[in-house]
Amino acid sequence: MTSQPDADPNRKRKPAIVLVLGDQLSLGLSSLRRADRAQDVVLMVEVMEEATYVRHHKKKIAFILSAMRHFAKTLQSEGWTVDYVRLDDPLNTGSFTGEIGRAVARHRADQVVMTEPGEWRVLDAAQAWPTSFGVTLDLLTDDRFICSVAEFRAWAKGRKQLRMEYFYREMRRKTGLLMTGDEPEGGQWNYDADNRKPAKADLFMPRPYQPDLDDTTRDVLELVGERFANHFGRLEPFRFAVTPEEAAEVLTRFLKVALPRFGDYQDAMLQGEPWLYHAVISPYLNVGLLDPLTVCRAVEDEYRAGRVPLNAAEGFIRQIIGWREYVRGIYWLKMPGYTQVNELGAARPLPAFYWTGETDMACLRAAIGQTRDEAYAHHIQRLMVTGNFAMLAGINPAEVHEWYLAVYADAFEWVEAPNTLGMSQFADGGLLGSKPYAGGGNYINKMSDYCGSCRYDVKQRTGRDACPFNALYWDFLDRNADRLRRNPRLGPVYATWEKMGEVARQETRQSARMFLDTLVGWQEPEKRS
Ligand code: FAD
Ligand code: DLZ
Ligand code: SF4
C-alpha cells in the first residue's frame, strides 16, 4: 500500500490532492516530498468527526486546530497552494471522507496523495476513496518513524515473544545513538535500575512553558470554547506550543533545566507538580512539530558534552526509540482487533470519578485533576495510578481505552492503545509486557507524597479506612489466578497470598467487594434520574 516519494516536477497532469492530517504537521512529510508545489493542492480540513469520535479534551482540540492553522500558513509562505477548510465553514461535511469528496470535485483531481495515517480507523476510511470518488490513492510511508511498519513486522516474525528491550537494542544499533562502536555506551544497554528515586517536595522544579498566544490561537480557543463546551477538561490556561519554533523552545528548556534529573526522578509523583522533570513534548512529537531522531541526537549531545548523566540520556532515548517505536509496531501488527482485546474478561463500567475527579483517593484525585486541567499526566501517573486502579478494579478495557484516547493532548490510537490495553491493563494477555503492572498502595506511597493527605490509610489492607489499592491488589491476583499464577514473575506474590491464610484472604476479598460496590459508572447528565 505504501511507496516512497519520487517527485517529477515536469509532469503535466491534473492536480493531485495532498491530504495533510492534523498529526502530519512536518515540512519534510513524505506526501509533501512526493507532491509538486507548482501543480498540486494541499488539503487540510478541520472536521467534527475527528473531535468527537471520542470526545477529546478541549485543550487537545485547541492544540491541534491551532497547530494546523499555523502549519497551513507556513506551507503557503513556502509556495504551496493550500485549500484549508475551517470547522465553521457552512459547507463543511464534518468528515475526512466528505471533505475529500468535495475537494476532488472542486479541483477536478484524479489523485489523492497522503502519508499513511496514524490510526487504522482513518486508513480504513481512506481505502474506500478510490471507489467512491474515482481517484487513485497514493499512500506513502510515514518515515518520521525510525522503524517502518514493514520493518517491525519483519523483526516480529517468527519470534515466540516480543519484548521491547530486544527491539530497543536493534534501534540503538540502527541509529548509532549512545553506541561506542558495536557496544552500548558505558557497557550496559539499560540504566533503569538507577531511575527509581522518589521526589522530595523541596527539590527545585522546572516551571511549565507558557507561550505568548497569538490571534490564531485566540480565535481557536474561542471556537473550541463555543463548540465543545460539553467536552472534558479546562481550556485555559493554554500552555501548548503550536509551531515548530515554539516546540523547539520547549525542548531546549527541557535539555538545560530538567534532563539532568530526568532519569533519577522519572517515576516520582508530587502533589501540585504535574510535570516534574519530564519533557512534556509528546504532543509535539506525535503531531510532527518535533522530530524524534533530532530530539534524541540533541539529548545525546548533552550527554557527550558532560552536561547530563548517562542514566538520564539513556532512559530518555529509550522512551523514544524504544517504547514509542515499539508500541507503534505492535499497533500495526495487531490491528484491526487490538482495540477489542479483553483477555482478563474485565466488565465493570469506568467509575464516574474518572470524568469528575471527585474521589477521596488522593492519588487518583491528583492524577485526574491535572489531566482535566492540563490534558497531561506523566507516565507513572497514567500507569500506576489511573491505569493500575482500573485494572485492579476490573474495569472494561474498552472504556479505559476510550478515556485515555480522549483526555490526553498526546493521545493518538497508535500510541495510546498499546500503552493502555497492553502495558497498563494487561488486556492483550501479555503480548506487550511480560507481567501486569499491578501495585498496591505501598508502591504509590514510596514514589509520591499523595498518601500523607489521603483520607485512607496506606498501611491497612482491610476495613473502611484501608487504602483501596491494597485489598484490590490481592483481589485482582486472586480473581485472575487461573491466568496469572503460572507467570514466573508472579510466583513469589502468589506464595505470599497463600501464606496469608484463609481468614485473611476472605477478609481481603470482602473488603475489595465492599469497595467495588461503591463505584458508580458515569451517566450523561441527561440520562441521570
Ligand atoms: P517523558 O517522560 O519526558 O518521555 C519522553 C518521551 O518519550 C515522550 O514525550 C514520549 O514521546 C516518549 N515515551 C515515553 N514513554 C512512552 C511510551 N510508553 N510509549 C510511547 N512513547 C513514550 N504517550 C503518548 O504519546 N500518547 C498516548 O496517548 C499515551 N497514552 C498512554 C497511556 C497509558 C495508560 C500509559 C501508561 C502511557 C501512555 N503514553 C502515551 C506514554 C507516556 O505516558 C507519555 O508518552 C508521556 O507521559 C508523555 O509525557 P512527556 O513528553 O513528558 O514524556
Ligand atoms: C485529533 C484531531 C482533531 C481533534 N481534529 C482534527 C481535524 O480537525 N483535522 C485533522 O486533520 N485532524 C484532526 N485530528 C487528528 C486526527 O484525528 C489524526 O490525524 C487521525 O487520527 C490520523 O491519525
Ligand atoms: Fe492512593 Fe491509597 Fe495513598 Fe490514598 S492511601 S493516596 S488511595 S495509594
Query: If the chain, 529 residues long, is cut into consecutive pieces of 10 residues, what is the mean pLDDT of each piece?
Result: 44 87 98 97 98 98 98 98 98 98 97 98 98 98 98 96 96 98 96 78 79 97 98 97 98 95 89 92 98 98 97 96 98 98 97 97 98 97 98 98 98 98 97 94 96 97 97 98 94 96 98 96 58
Report all structural domains of the chain as residue ranges with CATH numbers, in order of start: 17-140 (3.40.50.620), 149-225+240-334 (1.25.40.80), 353-527 (1.10.579.10)
Instruction: Quote the ligand 1 centre to 378 CA distance (angstroms).
Output: 7
The three cell numbers locating residue 173: 544499533
Cα–Cα–Cα angle for 203, 207, 209, rounded to 5 degrees: 155
> What pLDDT sits at residue 7?
47
Best mutation site among 269, 392, 442, 444 for ligand 3 pocket (most ligand atoms within 8 Å of CB): 444
Residue with CA nearest ligand 1 atom 40: 416
Instruction: Quote the ligand 1 centre to 379 CA distance (angstroms).
Output: 6
467 lines ligand 3 (CB under 6 A): yes
CA distance 227 to 225: 6
Best mutation site among 21, 31, 85 for ligand 2 pocket (most ligand atoms within 8 Å of CB): 21
> What pLDDT sits at residue 60?
98
Instruction: Quote the ligand 3 centre to 523 CA distance (angstroms).
Output: 26
- HSE-up of 41 (CA within 13 Å, CB side)? 22
Residue with CA nearest ligand 3 atom 2: 467
> What pLDDT sits at residue 6?
46
Q: Which ligand is nearest to the CA of 423?
A: 1
> What pLDDT sits at residue 13?
82
Ligand 2: which atom is nearest the Cα of residue 118? 23
pLDDT in tens, 99-132: 999 999 999 999 999 999 999 999 999 999 999 9
> What pLDDT sits at residue 1?
35
Determine the 3-state secondary structure of 18 from DSSP: strand
454 lines ligand 3 (CB under 6 A): yes
> What pLDDT sits at residue 34?
97
* 402-405, long-range: CB < 8 A, 24+ apart: 402/54, 403/350, 403/354, 405/54
> What pLDDT sits at residue 12?
65
450 lines ligand 3 (CB under 6 A): yes
> What pLDDT sits at residue 263?
83
292 preceded by a cis bond (ω within 30 of 0): no
Instruction: Quote the ligand 3 centre to 366 CA distance (angstroms).
Output: 11
Residue with CA nearest ligand 2 atom 1: 50
> What pLDDT sits at residue 300?
98
* 190-193, long-range: CB < 8 A, 24+ apart: 190/165, 190/314, 190/318, 191/263, 191/310, 191/311, 191/314, 191/315, 192/315, 192/318
Determine the 3-state secondary structure of 374 from DSSP: helix
Best mutation site among 419, 425, 426, 437 for ligand 1 pocket (most ligand atoms within 8 Å of CB): 419
458 lines ligand 3 (CB under 6 A): yes
404 lines ligand 1 (CB under 6 A): yes
In sequence order, what are the beta bridge partners of 44? 84
Best mutation site among 379, 380, 412, 426 for ligand 1 pocket (most ligand atoms within 8 Å of CB): 379
> What pLDDT sits at residue 2?
38
Determine the 3-state secondary structure of 112 from DSSP: strand
Best mutation site among 23, 328, 416 for ligand 2 pocket (most ligand atoms within 8 Å of CB): 23
Phi and psi, residue 13, nearest 5°: -165, 175
What pTM was computed for the model? 0.96
Determine the 3-state secondary structure of 17 from DSSP: strand
Instruction: Quote the ligand 1 centre to 8 CA distance (angstroms).
Output: 39
Q: Which ligand is nearest to the CA of 117?
A: 2
Instruction: Quote the ligand 3 centre to 319 CA distance (angstroms).
Output: 27
Which stretches of 393-516 are DSSP H helices? 397-407, 413-417, 441-447, 468-479, 481-484, 491-499, 502-516
> What pLDDT sits at residue 360?
97
Could you tell me whether strands 136-140 and 2-3 are parallel, antiparallel, or unpaired per DSSP bridges?
A: parallel
* 416-421, long-range: CB < 8 A, 24+ apart: 417/331, 417/338, 417/339, 418/327, 418/328, 418/330, 418/331, 418/338, 419/327, 419/382, 420/387, 421/338, 421/339, 421/341, 421/397
Please report, to the nearest 10 degrees, the dihedral formed by the alpha carbons of residues 423, 426, 430, 436 taken in order.
80
Ligand 3: which atom is nearest the Cα of residue 467? 2
Ligand 2: which atom is nearest the Cα of residue 24? 19
